[in-house]
Amino acid sequence: MDALHLYNTLSGKKEKFEAIKPPFVGLYVCGPTVYSNVHLGNCRTFISFDLINRYLRYLGYQVRYVRNITDAGHLENDAEVGEDKISKKARLESLEPMQIVQTYSIDFRDKMEVFNTLPPDIEPTATGHIVEQIDIIKDIMDKGLAYEINGSVYFDVLKYSETDNYGILSGRKIDELLSGSRALDGQDEKKNAVDFALWKKASPSHIMRWNSPWGEGFPGWHLECSVMSTKYLGESFDIHGGGMDLKFPHHECEIAQNKAANGTHAVKYWLHGNMLTFEGTKMSKSLGNSILPNELFSGDHKLLNKGFDPMVVRFFMLQAHYRSTLDFSNEALEASEKGFQRLMAAFETLHSLDVSDTSDIDSDSYKSLFEGAMNDDFNSPILISHMFDLVKAINSVADGRMTINQATKDGLTELMQHFVVDILGLTPSKQGDGAALIDGLMDVIIDVRNRSRLNKDWATSDAIRDQLKDLNIVVKDGKDGAKWEAQ
């Protein structure tokens, strides 16, 4: 494709991308609820949108990337007996809620950096926008689309549906929602089961609470994204993304809130990333099949044979299309690891190729293949497959079976820099700080020393021991052989 097309969940089709106000692009992505460590499935979504953000920038767009942090307002159970996710965790650990928020926000940002995702331009928090949320609630109430009961405010979905289409994004039908809802648990104060909370009254024991015109309480989950996206990107912006599991009800509610408050459907293109699965099932904390990034890096998890470099994990994820589910397994990771190393090795090889006057390779054709793949709804797997064709060509030149001229070499170097580093966000593995590598190196050193001792080559064995000592590594000879220890 010669122009960027993307799959819009709203229309269910691939559409040509046309920015509302080029060269600017507003990109909003639903971020995490920071009540626990991000797991790998969470990371996948943000890596997917990192790819999208990076490619938009490569195309020359000036992107304003906004990704929120949900630090309040997330109802845990049924609304009636609901408790805020953050405050629940806080009470369990006797911590201040914002302490929880801080701990897991740091973890989140740290993992995003390790996976080499570009930070968002704005990272707003729900608690930082309570005032704006109250304002929009008042606005929606003024328009007659929300009602207050017992200090809580609910969005009137049926009323809204008289003039608008609740379900426009997810394809839900109000009737089906009403009949299918499990309306019995704790039969609540809402007029209809499909109504959702804009503001919840805080029970006496609830520790996260703010003053409002309706008494002390806390905002509903869907509201923050409506508020923060329009605040920072305007009442109409280009792209809104998030995980597939947020499509309903979260994004559906967002649309309704925006439409109710501003009269506009704020978002032009809705993009949804698919789930990371494990043995075919969605990875999620509640199912107990989630893996944390650190566990994957170190290999310290019962389901893992070994650890993997973050860049390998990123590459693994980019080998699948963002709208497809991706199944996680040791085997798949190991395959990606080998492929990643081969790709990066060829990238290195490219720099040192001898040039000729003639060239069997044409960099422009690769460029159009690469761009064509990405233009087709960010198809990174296809992009990578073309890259491996190029890998083959590079190796053939290195092998003397093909030739390349200086201009082509320069063109390919720039092309690979753009697509491997800038767009896919892949950097060479940093194996130097890996404990596994150190262990391996030490084994080699100890082995060499043992052999010199067997040969009674004491000069060598003592030199090794002394030099290690200088590095604060102590070698201890015992009956069962030598051991070492870092001081």
Please list every residue from 217 through 246 that binds RNA, using CB under 7 A. Answer: 221, 242-246
Q: How many CB atoms lie within 10 A of CB 444?
A: 10
Candidate ranges 395-403, 434-442, 448-456, 464-472; the one touching RNA (CB under 7 A): 395-403
CB of 73 to RNA, least distance (A): 9
CB of 455 to RNA, least distance (A): 17
Which of 399/480 has CB closer to RNA?
A: 399
CB of 166 to RNA, least distance (A): 13
Token output for 23? 């060269």
Candidate ranges 26-34, 56-64, 423-431, 448-456; the one touching RNA (CB under 7 A): 26-34
CB of 374 to RNA, least distance (A): 12
Q: Does 345 bind RNA (CB under 7 A)?
A: yes
Q: Does 433 bind RNA (CB under 7 A)?
A: no
Site map 435..454 versus RNA, x via CB under 7 A: --------------------
Which of 209/222 has CB closer to RNA?
A: 222
Distance in angstroms (rounded) separating the CA atoms of residues 416 and 384: 11
Q: How many CB atoms lie within 10 A of CB 167?
A: 19
Of the candidate residues 13, 16, 62, 77, the single one contacting RNA (CB under 7 A): 77
Which of 172/259 has CB closer to RNA?
A: 172
Q: Does 117 bind RNA (CB under 7 A)?
A: no
Long-range contacts formed by 90-99: CB under 8 A, 24+ apart = 90/207, 91/207, 97/72, 97/207, 97/208, 98/71, 98/127
Distance in angstroms (rounded) separating the CA atoms of residues 324 and 48: 11
CB of 22 to RNA, least distance (A): 26
**DSSP percent split of the chain into helix, strand, coil, nearest 5:** 50, 15, 35
Q: Which residues 6+ apart lie within 8 Å of 289 measured at CB? A: 278, 279, 281, 283
CB of 388 to RNA, least distance (A): 4
Site map 317..336 versus RNA, x via CB under 7 A: --xxx--xxxx-x-xx-xxx
Q: Does 282 bind RNA (CB under 7 A)?
A: yes
Which of 142/279 has CB closer to RNA?
A: 279
Which of 70/229 has CB closer to RNA?
A: 70
Q: How many CB atoms lie within 10 A of CB 89?
A: 21
CB of 474 to RNA, least distance (A): 30
Which of 203/281 has CB closer to RNA?
A: 281
Amino acid at 397: V
Alpha carbon distances (Å) from 271 to 68, 374, 425, 434: 16, 15, 20, 36
DSSP 143: T
Distance in angstroms (rounded) separating the CA atoms of residues 349 and 448: 31
CB of 467 to RNA, least distance (A): 24
Q: How many CB atoms lie within 10 A of CB 295?
A: 18
Which of 177/261 has CB closer to RNA?
A: 177
Torsion of CA 226, 231, 233, 235, to 10 degrees: 70
Q: Does 2 bind RNA (CB under 7 A)?
A: no
Which of 189/473 has CB closer to RNA?
A: 189
Q: Does 267 bind RNA (CB under 7 A)?
A: no
Provide φ and ψ at 217, rounded to 5°.
-170, -160
Of the candidate residues 161, 396, 429, 452, the single one contacting RNA (CB under 7 A): 396
Q: Does 388 bind RNA (CB under 7 A)?
A: yes
Query: What is the footprint of RNA within residues 57-76 (CB under 7 A)?
Result: 70, 74-76
Which of 79/482 has CB closer to RNA?
A: 79
Cis peptide before 124 (omega within 30 of 0): no
Measuring CA to CA, which residue among 483, 473, 486 is closest to residue 447? 483
Provide φ and ψ at 311, rounded to 5°.
-70, -30
Largest CA distance in the chain: 93
Candidate ranges 39-47, 51-59, 87-95, 454-462; the one touching RNA (CB under 7 A): 39-47
Candidate ranges 131-139, 154-162, 281-289, 422-430; the one touching RNA (CB under 7 A): 281-289
Q: Which residues 6+ apart lie within 8 Å of 22 measured at CB? A: 61
Alpha carbon distances (Å) from 397 to 39, 87, 311, 358, 381: 42, 61, 27, 12, 25
Of the candidate residues 172, 200, 209, 465, the single one contacting RNA (CB under 7 A): 172
Q: Does 339 bind RNA (CB under 7 A)?
A: yes
Q: How many CB atoms lie within 10 A of CB 485?
A: 9
Distance in angstroms (rounded) separating the CA atoms of residues 137 and 160: 14
Of the candidate residues 116, 161, 284, 403, the single one contacting RNA (CB under 7 A): 284
